[in-house]
Amino acid sequence: DAKTTQPPSMDCAEGRAANLPCNHSTISGNEYVYWYRQIHSQGPQYIIHGLKNNETNEMASLIITEDRKSSTLILPHATLRDTAVYYCIVKGAGANNLFFGTGTRLTVIP
Amino acid sequence: DGGITQSPKYLFRKEGQNVTLSCEQNLNHDAMYWYRQDPGQGLRLIYYSQIVNDFQKGDIAEGYSVSREKKESFPLTVTSAQKNPTAFYLCASSIDYGEAFFGQGTRLTVV
């Protein structure tokens, strides 16, 4: 199963875009890239997912490189409530590869 | 409302006792998962189940057991064989290519 590499922590100024990178160089053709975030002591919350095209929803944008070996989650206007741990995951069919890792701790600074 | 419910939110256990954590979902999801989270750490997979009456071990299954008798329910038992059970436990469910939905977690403390 493909695993991911993320920086352990990042800071972002409030109101600015937060760009969170993820490396998934061993991703296979049928695996999607998912992003979740976890606010302290709560269950993780789904943000967005994609296969190879860029995706956007009301929360964020997901940019996936053409070779699919890396991706970037973009929070266009970060707020203090976006402070959380962000997890990048690759997942294909079946239930055996929902592997979370340690994620990136994003701190939004006033 | 549809969702995934874990209970209880806080649980205390004496050393040497077994304890069962509940996880119920009404999302009609086939797959369900149990994770353990220690302070400042990521989520580690304990067990997962793709369909009723079938489940597989994750990365840290030792000292834990599960059952999947109904699609909606995936209880986790922390046995006395688990040497360091104090942790935050999270349950999730998903469909194959959809997002996973998480419960709000159970915080287990051994006293």
pLDDT in tens, chain B (111 residues): 569 999 999 999 998 899 999 999 999 999 999 999 998 888 899 999 989 999 999 989 999 999 999 999 999 999 988 989 999 999 999 887 678 899 999 999 998
Q: Do the bridges between strand B106-110 and strand B10-13 make them parallel or antiparallel, or are there none, so unpaired? A: parallel
Predicted pLDDT of residue B103: 95
- Give the tens place of pLDDT for each residue, A10-56: 999 999 999 999 999 989 888 889 999 999 888 999 999 999 989 99
Counting Cα atoms < 13 Å in the Cβ hemisphere of B62 gives 3
Residue of A nearest to B49 (CA): A95
Q: Facing residues of B79 across strands? A: none
How far B5 CA lies from chain A's nearest CA (Å)?
A: 11
Q: How far apart are CA A36 and CA A60, in angstroms?
A: 11
Residue B69 belongs to what H/E stretch? Answer: none
Does B85 reach chain A within 8 Å, measured CB to CB?
Answer: no
Q: What are phi and psi of B83, to 5 degrees?
A: -75, -25
End-to-end CA distance of chain B: 35
Give the list of residues 6+ apart from residue A74 with CB closer than 8 angstroms, or none: A17, A18, A19, A20, A60, A61, A62, A63
DSSP B27: S
Does A30 reach chain B within 8 Å, measured CB to CB?
Answer: no
Residues 29-58 of B with CB under 8 A from A: 30-33, 35, 41-45, 48-50, 56
How far B40 CA lies from chain A's nearest CA (Å)?
A: 9
Residue A50 belongs to what H/E stretch? Answer: strand A45-50
What residues of A are in contact with residue B107 (Cβ under 8 Å)? 41
By three-state DSSP, how is residue A39 classified? coil
Per the CB < 8 Å rule, is B100 touching A95?
Answer: no
Q: Which tokens sit at B61?
A: 């299954």
